[in-house]
Chains A and B, each alone.
Chain A
Amino acid sequence: AQSVTQLGSHVSVSEGALVLLRCNYSSSVPPYLFWYVQYPNQGLQLLLKYTSAATLVKGINGFEAEFKKSETSFHLTKPSAHMSDAAEYFCAVSEQGAGRRALTFGSGTRLQVQP
């Protein structure tokens, strides 16, 4: 069975500071990994995805994430936070070749950006 743990339900950073949102996964087979962003009262938007190609994945809005198999992690980073990055972020996993065609989501991390 697959699972996702997002450490920290709330993260606050100053504008211009590094953003680090943590995601650890559990999967019995090689995973596909995703980060989504949700702005208030909107649907989820894909930021980036890992599909077993490059371990360092670049996404939209300057975000990137690195797949580390030894640490079972897929942390999301951005060098310099912008006020518009304030949103909720979800990490998700699916298993390659799995019969269940659905993602498993983490509980989410709300990012606040202070001026």
Chain B
Amino acid sequence: SQTIHQWPATLVQPVGSPLSLECTVEGTSNPNLYWYRQAAGRGLQLLFYSVGIGQISSEVPQNLSASRPQDRQFILSSKKLLLSDSGFYLCAWASMRTYNEQFFGPGTRLTVL
């Protein structure tokens, strides 16, 4: 069966510090991968998605970047965090062969102080 991992689970970072969030998927190959953000009391905002190694589509221009160095690894980064980067970050994967049905990881709670 497939599983998706995210770490860390929680993170508190000062403004201006760098960020690296990691997401890995097990039990499938060549998945589509996604990064979402939920700000407090708001819906899901798609940040990036990837259909293959090194292929990144950015949905919203911002302070963040994403990379996919391996087939089942997706990394969200920032060089300098802003207060507005605080939120709940979710990684998801979808099979190329299904209906864009996405499976979500447990999330990372990021607080920027």
Contacts and interface: CB of A to CB of B under 8 A. Distances in A.
B43 A102 contact: no
Interface string A79-108: 000000000001000101000011101111
Contact of B101 (A34, A90, A106, A108): A34
Interface residues on B, range: 20 to 34
B contact face: mostly helix, strand, loop, or mixed: strand
Nearest to A93: B100
Contacts of A41: 88, 107, 109
Interface string B71-107: 0000000000000000010101010100111111111
Interface of B: 32, 34, 42-44, 46, 49, 51, 59, 88, 90, 92, 94, 96, 99-107, 109
Name the 10 nearest CB pairs between A and B, nearest first: A43-B104, A94-B100, A107-B43, A32-B99, A44-B104, A105-B44, A108-B43, A51-B99, A43-B106, A101-B32
Interface of A: 32, 34, 36, 41-46, 49, 51, 90, 94, 96, 101-103, 105-108
